[in-house]
Chains A and B, each alone.
Chain A
Amino acid sequence: MILKKLKQILDLVTNSKDNKRTYIIQIIVAVFAPVLAMFCYGKGSVIMSSLVIIFTLAYMAVVGDIYPVKSGTGLSELFDNRKNKSLLTMISVLPLKHRELTVLFVNRTRKIWVTFIASTVVCMILEKFVSENIEIGNWLMFSGIISLNWLIWTIICFTNNGAIKILSWLIYIILPIFLFVIMIISEIADIFMISSAEGLFLMIVPYIIFEVYTHLSVLNIRKDYAHNGQRVKEG
């Protein structure tokens, strides 16, 4: 019986055409992330352990929000099918590139912002359990950088003003380098009690996540929409 269930779960996870895969992945990360986080904490890094949870929550929110939905896809159920169909049709109408589309639709849901704020609060509460001092600065900076990243991306994608677009690109590229250098050479790192390695992690990971995510997620949407046979019946 257990083996049969395991096989069913394995089939769901490995079957890329089935949206239940997303649901299963969400459950797995939701269960294992805190365990992994505590393990990281056991190794002595509050930041690392909390980051695991933040990214887990962010991943679940992002994937759950824009992944094509049928049923049983956890957070995705917040999107009903009809709205999702509108979203997919709009993707097909607009002359935008993949990354631009992702920004558009993630921004539209706005749930990503809520998730980041919520995850920051959750992490602070968690930290309260394991430490006397809550390092609020870490979490505010972390959420701030991610929010700024999305804001700049939105401007890059949707402004018609060439100068603003160039300026946004410059900020997008220079800001993390600038912050990282400042963090290393000044006492800011000491104030926030962040080592340079953790600082690098804080700076780089959001960017890597966004780059990979934005490319993959819309490709997933398109693939699903184009090939899963959701043919509209009106002919």
Chain B
Amino acid sequence: MENILEVKNLSKKFENSKFEISDVSFDVPRGTIFGMIGENSAGKTTILKLIMNAYGRDSGKITAYGNVDNIRDEPEFKNRTGFVVEDYLYDTISVKRIAQAFSCAFSNWKQEIFDKYINQWNIDITQLCSQLSKGAKIKVMIALALGHQPEMLILDEPTDGLDPHARAELLDIFREFVSDGEKSVIFSTHITSDLDKTADYIAVVSNGKITEVLTADETQEKYAVVSGDKTDGIEKYLIGMKKSEIGYEGLVLRENLAYFDDVTVRNPTYEDILMYTISGKRGE
């Protein structure tokens, strides 16, 4: 499968901060939804901002659409990529004015697409951005991103601030967007159930690194969640766990399941992966 985005050995250090992005590499195939999970301050937003060249990278390479470099060919890269990051909507101007600015800036802008989503979400485009709720702002930014007909959508916490109905609607839009097998969606989220429903791949981000990239199938094949009474002698096989008064639950590699007796085994969710590979590992 052809990759729509390739990130190789991406690194970035920040002045006055111990935090760094360290040697991050991953590929996103065309026609897929790629989710990033991680704790707060793990580095998800920073990786996405490095991809959009909002932060200058120290080293590494980011290419998309074959050979389009995100810095060398920045206008083309951004023309073909839709971003929903932070809140870039000015308080003092209307949604309509922002759409006008976008229509001039992007060569593939299609007003009908923007209007379709704005009408679907009942947003009054004459409103000032300051009058929009958090959820409405996200919807406007998504409509703006889709309006210029990108081949790839990059979104930072897009479901944050949306009600369940709007979240479901957005996930449907993602699925529809990638359905032609040519386009892709990359998004970060804290809400792991969104990934369970949509993501073809997940990347686990921790301390500025991507510790693992898995498909849904690989997750099931590689890991299992076990729960039992006592951890005597088997703790070293647990990748992460949480203890309670009635016993423990933890994540293990399936190849190590043979070491566990009298335990209940189930398939892991992405939340389990996040919880046990990062938080549980630290014994939190």
Contacts and interface: CB of A to CB of B under 8 A. Distances in A.
Contacts of B74: 95
Given A229-B17, A232-B45, A235-B38, A95 B104 contact: no
A211 to B, nearest CB: 20
Name B's interface SS. Answer: loop
B79 interface: yes
Interface residues of B, number: 43
Nearest to A231: B14
Interface stretch (A24-32, A62-70, A219-227): A219-227
A226 B19 contact: no
Given A86-B87, A92-B52, A95-B79, A235 B45 contact: yes
A85 interface: yes
B78 A95 contact: yes
Interface residues of A, number: 33
A17 B74 CA distance: 25
Contact of B40 (A95, A160, A229, A235): A235
Given A92-B49, A92-B52, A86 B17 contact: no
Nearest to B98: A90
A235 B104 contact: no
A108 B93 CA distance: 10
A226 B56 contact: yes
A158 B104 contact: yes
A104 B14 contact: no
Interface of A: 17, 83, 85-97, 104, 108, 157-160, 222-223, 225-229, 231-235
10 contacts: A87-B90, A89-B86, A90-B90, A92-B83, A93-B85, A226-B56, A229-B16, A232-B45, A232-B86, A234-B45
